[in-house]
Structure 1
Amino acid sequence: MAIFRKRFLYWLIKEYIRRFGKTILLFFAFGILVFFGLRLVFPYFYHKIPVGSREIIGFSGVFTTNTLPQAVLDDVGQGLTSKLDDGTIIPRIASSWKVEDDDKEYVFFLKKGVTFADGFPLTAEDIRYEFKDVTVERKDDYTISFKLKESYAPFLTTVSKPFFKKGFVGVGNYRIKDIQLNGNFVKSIILSSKTNPYVVKKYEFYSTEDALKLAFVLGEIQKARGLPHLGFKDTSISAFKGIVVEQFVDYSKLVSLFYNTQDQVLSDKRLRQGMSYALPSSFSFGERSFVPFPKKLWAYQKSVNEPEEDVDRARVLLEASAVATSSPQIVLELKTLPKYQEAARQVAEAWKRIGIETKIETVDNIPSQFQIFLGDFNVPNDPDQYTLWHSNQDNNITRYKNLRIDKLLEDGRKTINSEERKKIYADFLKYFLDDAPASFLYFPYRYNVTRS
């Protein structure tokens, strides 16, 4: 019986090959040709295959279409110029520029062949910035000039901000598919790649950091950007499985102690100097800074007056101050924002070493009256800090007045030559740090978390 089955199977296969052998060989040969043919042509059309991706990214904060995070703006737009990490300005949409008329006119020459996300070509007519007291002239399709009333060196930094035409259409790698608003505030934005509409980014905005963290933990978003810390309820987000954490330094904010220079006690700069030298050499909350802008900035030059920790020198300066000779004990009031309470306690401990008692009070906003305020300020992209420290500026909350500093700040924003500006800001740091109207603490750490 077994022999019969083997013979039957042999005859069956033989008959099958006899009847369909040519067809089998034909399709086999065809398959070989198709295989090698696809290998030859695949590199020429594989990028056209609709392979997509979708990521959902969360931010905390309240934003309008005019105040979106820089990461979103960079996706959808570009400016005439661009800024390197050290603040150096390089061309972006403009291929080059020149400065004329006593440094009051900036003429930009646009790159040709640049298109918006909707496919339309870019011309000078499409460049729209909302500047006050600036005359705009479009000399031809690829040349645009801005005439200022007076010289303003940070202007090249100003035009690094992305611009958009009607419909919020920019010259970025993504186009906006949809914006969801809650009143005047942006709730979410959906972007699609200019080259592949199947590559999609969705940005979700949450009013609080706690809401952002909860959305991440629940899996509503894949990434949470710019978290000030990783704490979540009684644990840390980093303790969850499959989470990638990236720590970075936020150089756009500088946590600082602002002294009321018109206060009866703190008007003595020797006291302020001593308090600065008594501060710790490091903080766990961020990258330590002794100056009002990042050390990587092109204009930075180390100053002999940078108040690095020196407790002995702090005591000498304190003993030379007027308040030390007139009062047996120095008691000062420090007002702090809630998020800097722990930093305030560390500052108080440092000052205690030189005999200063500190009363800490928590406030929700910048107080109108204070001796010392622990808060932060937005660090400009340019070394120009005229609005922060010039004596006639409302943002000068320390009420600091120094005619030499005023002149240096005025010259710094009017001088175009970078080497001359560097010398001006070296002098600014020298005299400003000697006066110590503020003590600079740290650029805060931030965290991006991603679900792997």
Structure 2
Amino acid sequence: MNLVKPVRRFWWWCQSFLKKQQKLIFSAGLAGILLFVLLNNVLPLLPQFKSKKSLGIVGQYTLNTLPRQLTPTLGRGLFRLTDSGEVSADLAQGYQLADNGSRYLVYLSPEVFWNDGTPIISRDLAFDLPEVTVSYPDERTIEFRLTQPYSPFLTLLTRPVFKDKTIGAGEYSIKTISWQGPYLKRLRLTGKNQELDYRFYLSNPAAWLGFRLGEVDRLENLIINPLNESWQNKVEVTGNLNRQAYLVVLFNLTDGNLANKSLRQALAYAIKNKSGDTAGRALSPISPDSWAFNPNVKPYNYNPQQAKTLLEKFEAESSAGGLPAQAGRLALTLGTSASFLELAEAVAASWQETLNLQVSVKTVNSIEPGWQAILVAQEIPPDPDQHALWHSTQPTNLTHYSDLKVDKLLEDGRQISDQARRREIYQDFQRFLVEDSPAIFLSHPVTYTITRK
């Protein structure tokens, strides 16, 4: 009996409270329901606040030729490149090679999606590949028919893919693009929580000016550090060795003197300090990280005695060949851009000191008629195929280098699919090319990133 009375009193109290506060309780419940609906259905439709980053990159690029470090940000491709330049699966789960290497069947991975949430099917993917016919046998298969075998073909499929030219398969989609001629001027990407605004500059000075004017808050891919002491406390600077590019002295082999191999080798041996350290030294046109790199090519370490011996050999060969005797010291002109002027002057000083040559350094914006030697930076293609740079038939072979053995190796290397055989081909290619010295490979550059604090 004593237990029943307290229970009854509590029950009467609850009834009285609910009766008096029923409007308040109803209003609170309704507000909770409305808040739940708002959070789950309305807020996702409203514009979301996104952090924004403005970045500057030096160089002339298209969407298909962006630096390798930027490609993952732009999105995913059917395949991706490993650090050693090998191709591995990404959106595609694999491929089949047919018709002696001229037909590729690529199979999409199951459960892959665009970043708008829709599933990726084969017909979503458009490809602009010269001399390649693309068809779609089913929703998971893409067929590529080439006019002839081309073993580096899969590296072309590592480029980011898009639906309707804007929707990507990675974290970001393309918001807007502006162009300067055939090259990117500005690229704006939008993701779930962040927007990236890339501006592209033709030179390091132009990029640094854009940074000072506030166009960007971060500069990437700078080969030189433009900072003076007044900026040291305003920015953060990081530098990384870029083994996907090299600094090189190219020779014009149509020049009467530089057509001689002994002279070119003498100039190679005569350069001091080709790189600040061993890790940064470039030995060949293929990256030391590549699966095809040959570490056993002739290194041309500084050797003044060997350089002088080869110069004497050049003079003897020139005399025996009926060339007119050189009056006074041999004269050379070394061209370069303003960015590499200091390095070019150091190379010229080595040639003058070691070989007693008369060397003038000239700042140029492009290759001029009658040029002799030029110091430039060259990006390394992701595949070891170097046909465009060194085959005798190619207009992009700036040195006019011509060798039947090298031509044959370059032709075979892009037609044979077996990687072990390709490795042998490109190791031979490097050995013959470096021996002939149409160029002096100096170093892999340090590229800088500058971020405003």
Alignment TM-score, normalising by the size of structure 1: 0.80
Alignment match, 1:148: 146
Amino acid at match of 2:413: G
Quote how far apart the aligned CAs of 1:292 are. 1.0
Matched, 1:366 2:364: no
Alignment match, 1:169: 167
Is the contact between residue 180 and residue 187 of structure 1 (CA under 8 Å) also seen in structure 2? Answer: yes
Quote how far apart the aligned CAs of 1:143 are. 1.2
**d(CA) in 2 for partners of 1:252 and 1:302?**
16
Quote how far apart the aligned CAs of 1:409 are. 0.8
Quote how far apart the aligned CAs of 1:135 are. 2.0
Residues 183-227 of structure 1: CA distance to partner in whole angstroms, max 9, x if unpaired? 88755444332xxx3333333445654454355456654322122
Quote how far apart the aligned CAs of 1:347 are. 0.9
**d(CA) in 2 for partners of 1:67 and 1:155?**
15
**d(CA) in 2 for partners of 1:133 and 1:434?**
35
Matched, 1:342 2:381: no
SS at match of 1:350: helix
SS at match of 1:299: coil
Matched, 1:231 2:229: no
TM-aligned CA distance change 1:276 to 1:244, over 3 Å: same
Structure 1: gaps of 5 or more residues: 1-22, 24-44
SS at match of 2:220: strand
Structure 2: gaps of 5 or more residues: 1-16, 18-39, 320-324
Is the contact between residue 243 and residue 288 of structure 2 (CA under 8 Å) also seen in structure 1? Answer: no
Is the contact between residue 55 and residue 198 of structure 2 (CA under 8 Å) also seen in structure 1? Answer: yes
- State percent identity of aligned pairs: 32
Residues 140-181 of structure 1: CA distance to partner in whole angstroms, max 9, x if unpaired? 111112121221111111111112222422211112344566
Matched, 1:255 2:247: yes
Amino acid at match of 2:196: K
Matched, 1:420 2:417: no
Matched, 1:202 2:197: yes
Quote how far apart the aligned CAs of 1:410 are. 0.6
**d(CA) in 1 for partners of 2:442 and 2:70?**
29
Alignment match, 2:7: none
**d(CA) in 2 for partners of 1:188 and 1:362?**
28
Alignment match, 2:309: 316
**d(CA) in 1 for partners of 2:213 and 2:258?**
49
Alignment match, 1:297: 290
Is the contact between residue 80 and residue 160 of structure 1 (CA under 8 Å) also seen in structure 2? Answer: yes
**d(CA) in 1 for partners of 2:395 and 2:364?**
20
Is the contact between residue 87 and residue 382 of structure 1 (CA under 8 Å) also seen in structure 2? Answer: yes
Is the contact between residue 118 and residue 175 of structure 1 (CA under 8 Å) also seen in structure 2? Answer: no
Is the contact between residue 281 and residue 288 of structure 1 (CA under 8 Å) also seen in structure 2? Answer: no
Amino acid at match of 1:89: V
Residues 91-123 of structure 1: CA distance to partner in whole angstroms, max 9, x if unpaired? 111111121211221111111111112222111
**d(CA) in 1 for partners of 2:83 and 2:171?**
21
Alignment match, 1:78: 76
Is the contact between residue 245 and residue 287 of structure 2 (CA under 8 Å) also seen in structure 1? Answer: no
TM-aligned CA distance change 1:354 to 1:134, over 3 Å: same
Alignment match, 1:408: 409
Considering only aligned residues, what root-mean-square deviation do their CA atoms show, in Å? 2.9
**d(CA) in 1 for partners of 2:384 and 2:122?**
29
Is the contact between residue 348 and residue 359 of structure 2 (CA under 8 Å) also seen in structure 1? Answer: yes
SS at match of 2:167: coil
Alignment match, 2:34: none
Is the contact between residue 76 and residue 169 of structure 1 (CA under 8 Å) also seen in structure 2? Answer: no
Residue of structure 1 aligned with 2:299, choices 293, 303, 306: 306
TM-aligned CA distance change 1:270 to 1:74, over 3 Å: same
Quote how far apart the aligned CAs of 1:85 are. 1.6
Alignment match, 2:35: none
Alignment match, 1:91: 89
Quote how far apart the aligned CAs of 1:228 are. 2.8
Is the contact between residue 303 and residue 429 of structure 1 (CA under 8 Å) also seen in structure 2? Answer: no
Matched, 1:274 2:269: no
Amino acid at match of 2:91: I
SS at match of 2:163: coil
**d(CA) in 2 for partners of 1:186 and 1:408?**
34
Is the contact between residue 333 and residue 372 of structure 2 (CA under 8 Å) also seen in structure 1? Answer: yes
**d(CA) in 2 for partners of 1:337 and 1:138?**
47
**d(CA) in 1 for partners of 2:59 and 2:92?**
32
Number of equivalences? 401
Is the contact between residue 178 and residue 191 of structure 1 (CA under 8 Å) also seen in structure 2? Answer: yes
Amino acid at match of 1:79: G
**d(CA) in 1 for partners of 2:285 and 2:302?**
17
**d(CA) in 1 for partners of 2:437 and 2:137?**
48
Residues 381-440 of structure 1: CA distance to partner in whole angstroms, max 9, x if unpaired? 111111111111111121111111111111111111111111111211221111111111
Is the contact between residue 243 and residue 289 of structure 2 (CA under 8 Å) also seen in structure 1? Answer: no
